[in-house]
Amino acid sequence: MSIPEPVARRTQPNADSAAEDYLKTIYHHTEWQSAPVTPSVLAATMGVAPSSVTEMAKKLSAAGLVNYEPYKPLTLTAEGTARARGVIRRHRLIETWLVDEMGYDWHEVHDEAEVLEHSISDRLLDAIDSRLGHPTRDPHGDPIPSADGSVESSPALLLSQAAIGTSGMVVRISDRDPSLLLSLAAAGIRPSTTLSVVSRDASTGFIVRVAGATDSDADGGPLVPVSASGGSSIWISAPA
C-alpha cells in the first residue's frame, strides 16, 4: 500500500484570501496615521507589481469594498472597513493565542497568523476569544476589533516624532521586524513600558530612559539606545 504524501502548506493565496490581504493592508496603512495609501505604496508594501494593485483595486471597487479612481489614493468603503477589521481580528487574536497559550514569543507570531487567519473557522475563533478572556490588545499593542467590528483606540505619538523630554507609555510596537522585537524585549521595552526621550538624532536614533527596571541609575530607569528604525516602529501615549 502506498503511503500518501503529506499535504503541503498553501503557498499561493486563493482569490478570497488575496482580497482580504489587500483590504487588511489598506486598513492597516491608516490605522496609526491619516494619509491614505497610494497604489504605488500599496504595491511596494505587498511586494506585488503596480499592475496587480490596479487589477485588484478595480475588483474590490466593483464589489463595493474600495473607493478607486486611477492615479488617486485608495480608501475603504464602510463595508470594506468591516471586512478588513474582520481579518485583522482573526490575525491579532491568533497572535495573542500563540503567545499566551502555545508558547510562542512575540517576534515569532506574525507569519504564523498570516497563514492561519484565512483558514480557521468562526467557531474556533470565538472559542479562542473566549479562552483568552476577550482581549482588546495583541502582544504588540495593536487593538483587536470586537466581534461587532468596534475598535478601542487611544491617542498615540510615534517615538520618532517625540521631542526630547517627552514621556509616555508604549502603546504599540510594529511587528514587521522580528529582530527589532527581540532587541527591544532584551532592553525591557514592550507595550505598557514607560519611556522618556533623553536625546535624539535623525540618523543614529534615540536614547530613552526605561522606567520601572531593576537595573536603574540614580535618575530613574536605565538609558537604552533605540535605532532610527526603532523610532519609526514604536508608538507612545500622546502627552495630554
Residue 185 has pLDDT above 90, yes or no: yes
Residue 3 has pLDDT above 50, yes or no: no
Q: Residues 22-35: what's their mean pLDDT?
A: 94
pLDDT in tens, 90-99: 999 999 999 9
What's the CA gap between 4 and 1, in Å, rounded? 9
Which band of pLDDT confidence, cut at 50, 70 and 90, is reported for residue 238? confident
Residue 11 has pLDDT above 70, yes or no: no
* pLDDT for res 203: 78
Residue 62 has pLDDT above 60, yes or no: yes
Residue 219 has pLDDT above 60, yes or no: no
Look over the chain and give the mean of its residue pLDDT values, rounded to a whole number. Answer: 89
Residue 190 has pLDDT above 50, yes or no: yes
* Per-residue b or e along 174-195, where b marks 16 or more CB atoms closer than 10 Å to that residue's CB: bbebeebbebbeebbbebebbb
61: three-class secondary structure by DSSP: helix
pTM reported for the whole predicted model: 0.86
C-alpha grid cell, residue 111: 507569519
Locate the domains of the chain by residue range: 1-153, 156-237
Q: What's the residue count for the chain?
A: 240
Q: Residues 122-144: what's their mean pLDDT?
A: 97
Q: What does 136-179 look like in DSSP terms, one character per residue? A: SB-TTS-B---TTS------EEEGGGPPTT-EEEEEEE-SS-HH
What's the CA gap between 15 and 85, in Å, rounded? 18
Residue 30 has pLDDT above 70, yes or no: yes
**Which of 75-78's residues contact partners 24+ apart within 8 Å by CB, and which partners?**
75/26, 75/36, 76/23, 76/26, 76/27
Which band of pLDDT confidence, cut at 50, 70 and 90, is reported for residue 240? low
Q: Residues 163-188: what's their mean pLDDT?
A: 94
Query: Are 223 and 207 contacting, i.e. CB atoms less than 8 angstroms apart?
Result: yes
Q: Residues 58-76: what's their mean pLDDT?
A: 97
> Which of 2.60.40.790, 1.20.120.1200, 3.40.190.10, 1.10.10.10 is the CATH number of 1-153?
1.10.10.10
Express as a percent the part of the chain with pLDDT over 90. 80
What's the CA gap between 138 and 106, in Å, rounded? 9
Residue 197 has pLDDT above 60, yes or no: yes
C-alpha grid cell, residue 232: 519609526
Which band of pLDDT confidence, cut at 50, 70 and 90, is reported for residue 14? low
* pLDDT for res 212: 60
Residue 127 has pLDDT above 50, yes or no: yes
CATH superfamily membership of 156-237:
Ferrous iron transport protein A (FeoA) (2.30.30.90)
> 11 Cβ partners below 8 Å, 6+ apart?
none
